[in-house]
């Protein structure tokens, strides 16, 4: 045990005294994490100099956040999201080599075991919203097309809801699909133009956002998980750059490289050939996978 | 809005982007607190570089801590206590002029409206434990005795429990009392030698302490609140310097100036005069109050 362990707590040496209590037998990674949390926490308190009332308000905020968590709602993840911590952890764990597509947060709406579909299928099962053609290629960092890539996609409908949020209103697996690339690395499917949507804002995190003058919205996007043997799995979104909230995603998920163009196709020739019902949106976006390290 | 508000989140600028979203209309103190929390939180994450699993473990720890809180148990205050944050907030809010007695944490066992007793009374209502005489003077920083000081004291019994933890076992108001000084500034009362005790360690905070190789004990102490017109209210303890846990209080409440001597009096003359039943402990401790600022 260090000498500081014999010393009493003072305002000046506060963090050192607390850290010195961690026993030498502690699992090293836990000791490292708790040590860093303690030092940064004390630095924050020393900068803020909270009154006793402000300290108690923080305790009550955390308590209310905990009480809001249940099997369906994870308010601490939401708190991590709106403070940019989830995105920071994602960024730290997904540093990509130059040229590879960037990641963003998974979010809470992924569903496992979605049926695999033929390339070119329509994942909008209820035919609602604005039809949208989504296509592109999956490449490696040398620009070569990748075959056998599993593409798992999901998105909101035109009202900004995922199927799992509207059971009985949307068909099961609506606007979800799994596809697999052939030798050309091409993917293509039909969906519906997604819409912005709010994160759950009826709890303590939503109240905090409101007191900070922040809105709860995420700009319209499509989710992807791309898996291929020998490559890092890529969890990402592509975003509509024309969305009103594109510069203020409530969870900081937007990266410049994830902006895709959502084009309205009004060319009669293309309509006649590809979507005789009328105009449609189109997103063309390639993804580049990083080799497994 | 600042220019950064238009910028997208990156690993490098993460905290700045999050802070830039705080609206100009936000109450300035809230903006200051949230800004500082965000910057220190991101600095901690960048130093720790948590894996996704470690991040989720932190989320689950906070969730469990929240779920442990109810009307009787405040696990987030306990978390603040064992990380030294409660003591740091106390220290920041109670910087005393030279010569004045130092403060320490209030703790959860204070009871309001305890009956006022005659100076010299015995607050140990069940006669259990080792009798202890507690006395001293209340002074100002010029060394002058203060009259009319309200002295609110409470302590554990010989088993390390407060009355409110043992309803039906200890009498109501056992080992609690309120006294008021006369012109000589002297206080004196009988109690019982207090014992060390554990903070509640059957929840997530206790589990964390165990994984850090830390024990849950607080060294034996007496609690005081001293109130006098024209002076800063003093919330403090005095500690038994011979307690096994005096150098490792689980909540970091010990300060060097709060050590008092718990003397065993075996002198037959004093026993005959002051406590004919036999030997007793004695603590003599003066308190110095700081003038109201």
Full pLDDT tens readout for chain A, 293 residues: 344 445 799 999 999 999 999 999 999 999 999 999 999 999 999 999 999 999 999 999 999 999 999 998 999 999 999 999 999 999 999 999 999 999 999 999 999 999 999 999 999 999 999 999 999 999 999 999 999 999 999 999 999 999 999 999 999 999 999 999 999 999 999 999 999 999 999 999 999 999 999 999 999 999 999 999 999 999 999 999 999 999 999 999 999 999 999 999 999 999 999 999 999 999 999 999 999 98
How far apart, in whole angstroms, are the C-alpha atoms of residue B221 and residue B195?
7
* A61 and A208 Cβ atoms separated by less than 8 Å: yes
Per-residue model confidence (pLDDT) at position A254: 97
CB-CB neighbors (< 8 A) of B256 in chain A: 8
Residues of B in contact with A9 (CB under 8 A): 84, 87, 91, 252-255
All residue ranges of chain B with pLDDT < 70 are: 1-6
B264 to chain A, minimum CA–CA distance in Å?
Answer: 25
Could you tell me if A20 lies within 8 Å of chain B, comparing CB atoms?
no
DSSP A101: P
CA B228, CA B102: separation in Å to the nearest integer? 16
Task: For residue B58, give how far its alpha carbon lies from the nearest alpha carbon of chain A (Å).
Answer: 9
* Tokens representing residue A228 in the block: 């291929």
The upper half-sphere exposure of residue A38, i.e. CA atoms within 13 Å in the direction of its Cβ, equals 23
* Model pLDDT, residue B1: 38
User: Using CA atoms, how far apart are residues B159 and A105, in angstroms rounded to an integer?
Assistant: 52
Beta-ladder partners of B167 = B170
pLDDT of residue A16: 97
Residue for token digits 């390290």? A293
In this structure, what token pair is assigned to residue B117?
């007793």
Cross-chain residue pair B255–A8, CB shorter than 8 Å: yes
From chain A, pick out residues whose CB is under 8 angstroms from the CB of B40. 40-41, 43-44, 47
Is there a contact between B89 and A55 if contact means CB atoms under 8 Å apart? yes
Within chain B, all domains assigned CATH 2.60.130.10 are found at 98-199+211-289
CA separation, residue B179 to residues A154, A261, B131, B242 (Å): 70, 77, 19, 27
ipTM score of complex: 0.94
Which residue of chain B is at minimal alpha-carbon distance from A47?
Answer: B36
Question: Cα–Cα distance between A125 and A191 in angstroms, integer?
Answer: 9
Q: What is the pLDDT of residue B7?
A: 78
Nearest-CB residue to A47 (from B23, B36, B90): B36
Helix (H) or strand (E) holding A152: strand A150-155
CA separation for the pair A169, A158 (Å, rounded): 13
pLDDT score, position A6: 56
Residue B118, chain A, CB below 8 Å: the answer is no
Neighbours of B117 (CB within 10 A): 18
Residues of chain A with CATH 2.60.130.10: 85-289
A114 close contact with B: CB closer than 8 A:
no
Q: Do A17 and B247 touch (CB under 8 A)?
A: no
Whole-angstrom Cα distance, residue A157 to residue A282?
A: 16
pLDDT at A46: 98
Q: Which of B289, B223, B291 is nearest to B253 (CA)?
A: B223
For an interface test with A, which of B6, B87, B92 has the most A Cβ atoms less than 10 Å from its Cβ?
B92
Domain A85-289 fold is Protocatechuate 3,4-Dioxygenase, subunit A (2.60.130)
A197-198 vs A217-218, strand pairing mode = antiparallel
| A85/B41 touch (CB, cutoff 8 Å), yes or no | yes
Distance from the first to the final alpha carbon of chain B = 39
Q: Which residue has tokens 């006395």?
A: B135
Q: Which string of DSSP letters, residue by residue, matches B181-214?
A: --TT-EEEEEEE----EEPP-SSHHHHHHHHTT-
Asked if A72 has any chain B CB less than 8 Å from its own CB, the reply is no
pLDDT of residue B277: 95
pTM, whole model, 2 decimals?
Answer: 0.93
pLDDT for residue B6: 56
Q: Could you name the CATH architecture of B98-199+211-289?
A: Sandwich (2.60)
Q: Quick one: closest CA in B to A60, which residue?
A: B76
Nearest CA in chain A to B79: A59
Cβ contact, residue pair B9, A87, below 8 Å: yes
């Amino acid at each position: 045990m260090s000498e500081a362990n014999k010393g009493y707590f003072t305002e000046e040496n506060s963090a050192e005294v607390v850290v010195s209590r961690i026993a030498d037998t502690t699992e090293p990674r836990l000791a490292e994490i708790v040590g860093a949390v303690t030092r940064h926490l004390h630095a924050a308190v020393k900068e803020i100099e909270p009154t006793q009332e402000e300290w108690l308000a923080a305790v009550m905020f955390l308590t209310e956040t905990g009480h809001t968590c249940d099997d369906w709602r994870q308010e601490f993840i939401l708190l991590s999201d709106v403070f940019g911590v989830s995105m920071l952890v994602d960024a730290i764990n997904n540093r990509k080599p130059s040229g590879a597509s960037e990641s963003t947060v998974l979010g809470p709406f992924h569903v496992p075991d979605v049926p695999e579909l033929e390339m070119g299928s329509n994942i909008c099962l209820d035919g609602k919203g604005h039809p949208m053609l989504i296509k592109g290629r999956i490449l490696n960092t040398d620009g070569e097309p990748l075959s056998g890539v599993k593409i798992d996609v999901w998105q909101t409908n035109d009202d900004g809801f995922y199927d799992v949020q509207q059971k009985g209103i949307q068909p099961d697996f609506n606007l979800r699909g799994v596809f697999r690339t052939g030798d050309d690395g091409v993917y293509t499917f039909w969906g519906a133009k997604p819409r912005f949507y709010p994160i759950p804002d009826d709890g303590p995190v939503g109240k905090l956002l409101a007191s900070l003058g922040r809105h709860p919205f995420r700009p319209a996007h499509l989710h992807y998980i791309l898996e291929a043997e020998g490559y890092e799995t890529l969890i990402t979104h592509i975003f509509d750059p024309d969305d009103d909230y594109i510069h203020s995603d409530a969870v900081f998920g937007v990266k410049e490289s994830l902006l895709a163009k959502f084009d309205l196709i009004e060319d009669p020739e293309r309509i006649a050939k590809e979507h005789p019902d009328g105009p449609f949106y189109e997103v063309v976006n390639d993804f580049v996978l990083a080799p497994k390290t």
